[in-house]
Chain A
């Protein structure tokens, strides 16, 4: 053939070689690539642990790049500091936007939390996408664990931001439609309920720092209470946990300084060493021990509530700042259990590499959810089962059960506030029980802050709005 005598042949041959797959996207030999990593179950289990690593977030001590995700370590900013429980020590900077209700869509902490939990969602979806490599026996368990984490992340995001993009699968760079379409809350909750139902079917109570049956049951109960529907199922879920061998620690202080006790249902695990698995919030809550001058300081309102209603819980919940006795600090998460001595700032271990676990769900929360489920959206309840659960929580605090045999919604809110103070429950409790506007507008007026009802939701981070090129609408009021 004449063709072969000419250089056309060479060009043609080159063209064929160039089309080989690994020419343009070679498999790296010195690093792990996500596309090819999940080849067997052991590797998939690394993916499972990777989800919890995402929730842990990065300790700034380990790597101070502000573009990294800090996840659960900064959750107190977007929850507790927007309630009437805590504030910054000196009302300065970006952090003070939370307490005085002047949040801007450009707030870096809000963006950090948003991208952190979408990263967690991505990690969970990667596990789900690679379930095929798991054995038939273990696949349902791994699926259940990933779906629990996915529900947990979606639940946090939907409560904080309202309508949000739904991460029901791995979202690629090109999937801009999914990235920037805010789907209605009801649709997000549908996926959350379905994920948790799947999780409940296959989980057991082996772990406390990973997903468990009781954790999924408690989370689903809270989802139902938040939706204000399925109160009977919420009560059944609480009762299932109550029959699973959990209990209250006799000493309230042990809840926070003895890890993974019988009271803990789900906690994000941290260890003080290495720094990669430690947390920084314990230091941030003290006086210039962390990178800030002091955040998540206790408001006078919260201290007054603890003094009046907390019983023996008060001294284990907050203390006067030894270095600045006009201020009050959270006493539940002293770094590695060290309180800093007489000045509050001297430690033997590195306080910025704290190993205290972050408690997400504990038994006292379940008992009070049990009361809430029985109250079923009404203003009070006199049902004996509710009085019993309520009494258990109060007896531990050196108090008696309800005095008149009727638990009102206000009494339940107060009890939750003093039992679960500074554990990132207060804001969600106020919203869920319909008291957010009443309580926060009064709190704001008393302190000269500028609360409006639109402050109940966080702003969608401005960077997302910008990247969406007009697809994403901001929440009202921002």
Chain B
């Protein structure tokens, strides 16, 4: 209250002071060197772009023509786009489409800009390749000639790489067909077998050729036969992942994908199930079979001698035995039918 009274008393003095202040402010504000520093609006571009563009795209080969590529624009905060497709063609559309002259490697660059003129570029190298039907490769079979090679335990054997102790006894090293220690023998009256897993291309046909000789028939009540099965990888025991060894010495001898004969004999697991009966000669004969890999990228070849009584043979008890005659196998060849 006191202040107001004083103000009123000194009204005139204040009024003149106010005028003086206004005058001085007016003078100061007319000074270009000061005003420019403090009150002017910022120039264009003096404030950083808070949402700068970020260029990004993905490329996919068109389903219409293999030379044509679609580019999906995933840029953010941009308004204009410039495409350089790497073959001399350009575009300013949002999504890019380009048909290339032919096979080759091209660098595609997208420059995305916003309305403030800030740009961002993103490049990707694409390889334009004509899709071709790829030939199915031949599967890789280790020790397909049954040579005397090191196995993971003990002595060398023609059976190296071919042992699955859960479903049979190993075959024996033997000689024949003009060589020595170069064939595998399925002993008479024993549950001898060979087993190996290998990689295949799904839904492909393969031709398998085996060269086999039988010992002369003894004319008994248990003639030997050789049974060949190609077993589906889909029938492997749960969560089994096959390993494809390249050296016979690395092959384990048990705990494979097939661990029981009942699993082997399930019809759904058999892509091929053939039996070679005694040919009534003792020479090495070639037998050819065709199988389709179906919905499998891995299969197992299982061969055993059969014809004997289920039990009572020499060797392990697996519910099967070879018959009266020895059988020898010189080689197995599997090729893709392209």
Contact = CB atoms under 8 A, between A and B. Distances in A.
Interface of A: 231-232, 235-236, 239, 373-374, 376, 378-379, 381, 383, 385-386, 409-410, 413, 433-435, 437-438, 441, 452-454, 456, 476-477
Contacts of A438: 62-64, 70
A311 to B, nearest CB: 24
Interface in B36-84: 56, 60-64, 70-76
Contacts of B72: 437, 453-454, 456
Contacts of B64: 438
B296 interface: yes
Contact of A453 (B61, B73, B76, B295): B73
B63 A231 contact: no
Interface string B190-210: 000000000000110000000
Interface in B203-219: 203
Interface string B93-109: 01101000000000000
27 contacts: A232-B202, A235-B202, A235-B203, A235-B295, A236-B234, A374-B202, A374-B203, A379-B131, A385-B203, A410-B63, A434-B63, A437-B70, A437-B95, A438-B62, A438-B63, A438-B64, A438-B70, A452-B73, A452-B95, A453-B73, A453-B74, A454-B73, A456-B72, A476-B73, A476-B75, A477-B73, A477-B74
B71 to A, nearest CB: 8
Interface of B: 56, 60-64, 70-76, 94-95, 97, 131, 133, 202-203, 234, 294-297
A453 to B, nearest CB: 3
A11 B94 CA distance: 72
Contact of A239 (B63, B94, B295): B295
B70 A232 contact: no
Contacts of A236: 234, 295
Nearest to A238: B295
Contacts, number: 65
A471 to B, nearest CB: 16
B218 to A, nearest CB: 44
A383 B201 CA distance: 12
Given A231-B202, A434-B61, A476 B74 contact: yes
Nearest to B234: A236
Contact of B63 (A433, A452, A453): A433
Nearest to A370: B295
Contacts of A235: 202-203, 295
Contact of B297 (A232, A374, A437): A232
Given A232-B296, A452-B73, A376 B202 contact: yes
Given A376-B202, A437-B95, A232 B63 contact: no
A328 to B, nearest CB: 26
A435 B234 contact: no
A235 B201 CA distance: 13
9 shortest interchain CB distances as A-B pairs? A453-B72, A235-B295, A437-B70, A383-B203, A435-B63, A476-B74, A236-B295, A453-B95, A232-B297
Contacts of A374: 202-203
A344 to B, nearest CB: 37
A376 B133 CA distance: 12
A395 to B, nearest CB: 22
Contacts of A383: 203
Contacts of A410: 63
A413 to B, nearest CB: 8
Contacts of B74: 453-454, 476-477
B63 A441 contact: no
Nearest to B62: A438
A243 to B, nearest CB: 8
A452 B57 CA distance: 12
Contacts of A435: 63
A409 B56 CA distance: 28
Nearest to A383: B203
A431 B281 CA distance: 62
Given A441-B70, A456-B72, A476-B56, 5 more contacts: A236-B295, A374-B203, A378-B133, A437-B72, A454-B73
Contacts of B94: 452-453
Contacts of A413: 63
A232 B295 contact: yes
Contacts of B295: 232, 235-236, 239, 373
B156 to A, nearest CB: 36
B58 to A, nearest CB: 8
A441 B95 contact: yes
A385 B205 CA distance: 12
B9 to A, nearest CB: 58
Given A378-B131, A453-B70, A409 B203 contact: no
A378 B130 CA distance: 12
A372 B70 CA distance: 22
Most chain A C-beta atoms within 10 Å of own C-beta, residue among B61, B131, B203: B203
Contacts of A376: 202
B284 to A, nearest CB: 34
Nearest to A380: B133
Most chain B C-beta atoms within 10 Å of own C-beta, residue among A383, A386, A454, A476: A476
A379 B63 CA distance: 8
A369 to B, nearest CB: 12
Most chain A C-beta atoms within 10 Å of own C-beta, residue among B70, B71, B131: B70
A433 B72 CA distance: 15
Contacts of B133: 378
Contacts of B56: 476
B236 to A, nearest CB: 12
Contacts of A409: 63
Most chain A C-beta atoms within 10 Å of own C-beta, residue among B61, B72, B297: B72
Contact of A476 (B60, B63, B76, B296): B76
